[in-house]
Amino acid sequence: VVESNCAGTANDTIDMDTKTLWDPGQNCTRRSNRNDWWLKFTMAEQTTVTSVGIFMSGDRLHDVRLYDVFKCVETVDTSSYIEDECTESLQFCNATLGQTTEQTCEGWGPREVSQYWALRITAVGPMEDPGPEPWLTEVYWYGFAGVECGYGDEGCKVGMWLRNWSGYGEAVALGCGMLSL
């Protein structure tokens, strides 16, 4: 499940279709700084996340330039701020404008485990603040399952690698512990 502090279809960020996108529009509950867009992700189970990949529209104007990854202790109330219910940012990530291929952010040290995660977008496009709204096509979470669970015919065990994209341009089944629509 994906929720946001904005309008738009946030679940488009996990549908494994880079032709759909989350366009939050201007109807958002956020601080006076317009560059405070966020998505809250509820995993099916506890998951160890090791990296996050994003896909953007590639039009430069609406592409994400800077974003943070947060581990949350519980589901995030969409009317509150991320900082109220989540830990400090685990990683500050840069993205390259004009790219439609996956850009991965990783390297936040100790592996973090949670069922609730958030991604906050703090800069969009080539302009300085305030910038337009982001157009985000996909968010991919990589890591390990925290519990035993099954999917497809294979099933999986604790610690099995999770990845919701094959890396070869083919959609694959969401791994255990991953997001569900």
Q: State the sign of the Cα–Cα–Cα–Cα dihedral 144, 150, 151, 152.
A: positive
Contact of 76 with 86, CB cutoff 8 Å: yes
Architecture of 2-162 per CATH? Answer: Sandwich (2.60)
**Per-residue pLDDT at 142:** 77
Is pLDDT at 179 greater than 50 in this prediction? no
Residues 122 and 34: their CA atoms lie apart, in Å, by 9
Residues 83 and 33: their CA atoms lie apart, in Å, by 15
Residues 6 and 73: their CA atoms lie apart, in Å, by 21
What lies within 8 Å, CB to CB, of 71 at 6+ separation is 49, 86, 87, 90, 112, 114, 116, 117
What is the rounded end-to-end Cα distance, in angstroms, of the chain? 5
Distance of CA 43 to the CA centre of its chain: 11
Contact of 114 with 19, CB cutoff 8 Å: no
pTM assigned to the model? 0.73
Q: Give tens-digit pLDDT for 113-167.
A: 888 888 888 888 887 766 788 888 888 887 766 554 544 444 444 444 444 433 4
Peptide linkage before 134 cis (omega within 30 of 0) = no
Q: Give tens-digit pLDDT for 79-91.
A: 556 666 777 677 7
Is pLDDT at 169 greater than 50 in this prediction? no
